[in-house]
């Protein structure tokens, strides 16, 4: 059972990094630091959008409009950290 919990914790950790990289790439594109017409940048952005959009979209629907500021990745990161801490909290009960 510990192996399964460790796997879930690792998947959550990887997804946290995917969300952080998605936010950084979107900022770099918004401030025109990197060019979206570059094929490599476009493929990275497409992959990150496909990985994060299904989770971020329901959060965005429930968030109030903040005038162009999207805090849904912050909410998602908080939820992921909460889930990971909850997993570690109940870890000894499964072991």
pTM for the complete prediction? 0.89
CA atoms of 5 and 39, how far apart (whole Å): 38
Q: What is the pLDDT of residues 26-82, one digit of tens each?
A: 999 999 999 999 999 999 999 999 999 999 999 999 998 888 889 999 999 999 999
Q: Is residue 94 over pLDDT 60?
A: no
CA atoms of 67 and 50, how far apart (whole Å): 25
For residue 93, what pLDDT band results from cuts at 50, 70 and 90? low
Measured in whole angstroms, the distance separating CA 27 from the mean position of its chain's CA atoms is 14
CA atoms of 71 and 88, how far apart (whole Å): 26
């Amino acid at each position: 059972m510990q192996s399964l919990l460790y796997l879930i914790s690792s998947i959550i950790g990887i997804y946290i990094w995917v969300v952080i990289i998605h936010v950084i790439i979107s900022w770099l594109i918004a401030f025109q630091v990197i060019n979206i017409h570059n094929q490599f940048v476009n493929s990275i952005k497409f992959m990150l959008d496909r990985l994060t959009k299904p989770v971020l979209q329901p959060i965005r629907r429930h968030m109030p409009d903040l005038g162009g500021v999207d805090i849904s990745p912050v909410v998602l990161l908080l939820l992921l950290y909460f889930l990971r801490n909850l997993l570690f909290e109940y870890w000894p009960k499964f072991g």
